[in-house]
Structure 1
Amino acid sequence: METIHRFIVAAGFVALSGIVSLLAAPSLPADLVTNWGAAGEPSGTMPKLLALWLFPALTAGLLVMFAVIPRIDPLRENIADFRPYYDWFVVIFTVYMFVVHAGILAFNLGYEFDFTYLILVAVAGLFYYSGVVLIHAEQNWFVGIRTPWTLSSEEVWARTHALGGRLFKLTAVFALLGLLFGEYAFYLLLIPALLTAGVTVVYSYYLYERIERSSDTAPE
């Protein structure tokens, strides 16, 4: 029942995105600013109808996918072991999508704020909780750092996710520090995120090879 309640909360944020779109629609221009450069300057637009409903529709589709994953994963019993963390990630993800959507609409309604800073704060929250999920994630086919080596060894999975969880949290901290660096703020998110992805992949390979060599040289 707790899982159902958490998905109802997530669905509520999807519905709220749609409500916000309906309320804002009459006051919005024909084309909405939907893209910003690294320095925070607007750099692209989208037709109003598409901009109003893209995020609500995309979030709804992803919510359905998140609901299905624990049922179709061959290792679904492992997802059950960290299901509360998984469910709260789904809620936080829908909150993130709502914040981005509402921020786009607010900007186009004439409210003045730095959209890049809004994204940095929202992404920092999402990344930090992603780190929490990674630390608790058990081996499965859909959630986590899924490399050939983590999926081939439970030990590699556990140790890679322990490192990955810490790196995701650290990336979130760098994203917040970016608020102090103006036009370079985006890079304090992008560079740590790319390094985190690269380090975890290389680390999983390194661990797997070391464990395999140890098993090959162990006396029988």
Structure 2
Amino acid sequence: MRKSEIAILGIILLSLIVSIYFYPQMPEKIASHWNIQGQVDGYMSKFLGLFLMPIILIGFALLFVAIPRIDPLKANIEKFRRYYEGFIILLFLFLLSIHFQVILWNIGIKISPNVMFPIGLGLLFFYIGVLCENAKRNWFIGIRTPWTLSSEKVWEKTHKIGGKLFKIAGVIAFVGVFFQSYALFFIFVPV
């Protein structure tokens, strides 16, 4: 088992343990969605609210572990595997932070999503830029068009530019933390 797979498994187990621990303390309906101003505008049953994210993490884990094994250009994925695995771990940590934010909010510790999302998505977008700049041609990861998939040169140029744009989007999204009322604009406008 790869170190990244152990980390993924650890994150999944942590999400399940935290969900089980806090289950008795949660109201029957828990806040699960916030509008652009950071106000609650959606609720879920406590079971779904606590166990949906661990289920999503399990599904993503199965997908991300399968991709390098089924890609016809799997040798190319091995060339940037550490960046791919870094992305997976960062994505899982971001999703875990959302899970924690939902739990904390519902036990009375109000952490605004307008603080968490700009930071988390800013880091994620920036790292996607790093991943793009290092990705080799493959069928699952990166900017896949008929042109990038049929030409190594087009793939390289596209991902060099795409990587820079994702990094810029990440920095802009991160700045949203300083303008919480407009945080989501900083996230979605550059994307």
TM-score range, shorter chain: over 0.9
Runs of 5+ consecutive residues of structure 1 not aligned to the other structure: 194-220
User: Please, which of 49, 60, 63 is the counterpart of residue 62 of structure 1?
Assistant: 60
Cα distance in 2 between the residues matched to 1:38 and 1:152: 41
Greater mean alpha carbon deviation, residues 74-83 or residues 172-181: 172-181
Q: CA deviation at 1:94?
A: 1.1
User: Please, which of 144, 149, 152 is the counterpart of residue 150 of structure 2?
Assistant: 152
Cα distance in 2 between the residues matched to 1:18 and 1:100: 14
- Aligned position for 1:170: 168
Cα distance in 2 between the residues matched to 1:184 and 1:119: 12
What TM-score, normalized by structure 1, do the two folds share?
0.84
Cα distance in 2 between the residues matched to 1:121 and 1:85: 20
Is 1:108 paired with 2:111? Answer: no
Decide whether aligned partners of structure 1 residues 88 and 182 sit closer, same or farther in structure 2, where only a CA change above 3 A counts.
Answer: closer
- Aligned position for 1:24: 22
What's the secondary structure of 1:87's corresponding residue? Answer: helix
Cα distance in 2 between the residues matched to 1:180 and 1:126: 18
Cα distance in 2 between the residues matched to 1:121 and 1:158: 29
Q: CA deviation at 1:125?
A: 1.4
Q: CA deviation at 1:28?
A: 0.7
Q: Deviations over 1:64-101 (max 9, x none)?
A: 11011001000111101111111111111111111111
Give the number of the structure whose alpha-carbon radius of gyration is greater.
1
- Aligned position for 1:182: 180
Runs of 5+ consecutive residues of structure 2 not aligned to the other structure: none
What's the secondary structure of 1:38's corresponding residue? Answer: coil
- Aligned position for 1:40: 38
Cα distance in 2 between the residues matched to 1:177 and 1:83: 30
Q: CA deviation at 1:131?
A: 0.9
Cα distance in 2 between the residues matched to 1:78 and 1:67: 15
- Aligned position for 2:85: 87
How many positions carry a matched residue from both structures? 191
Cα distance in 1 between the residues matched to 2:111 and 2:15: 20
What's the secondary structure of 1:192's corresponding residue? Answer: coil
What's the secondary structure of 2:146's corresponding residue? Answer: coil
Q: CA deviation at 1:133?
A: 0.7
Contact 1:7 1:90 in 2 (8 A): no
Q: Deviations over 1:140-166 (max 9, x none)?
A: 000001112211211111111111111
Contact 2:123 2:174 in 1 (8 A): no
What's the secondary structure of 2:43's corresponding residue? Answer: strand
Cα distance in 2 between the residues matched to 1:122 and 1:181: 15
Cα distance in 2 between the residues matched to 1:19 and 1:124: 28
Cα RMSD of the aligned pairs, angstroms, is 1.1
What's the secondary structure of 1:29's corresponding residue? Answer: coil
Cα distance in 1 between the residues matched to 2:30 and 2:146: 42
- Aligned position for 2:141: 143
Cα distance in 2 between the residues matched to 1:93 and 1:177: 19
- Aligned position for 2:3: 5
What's the secondary structure of 1:151's corresponding residue? Answer: helix
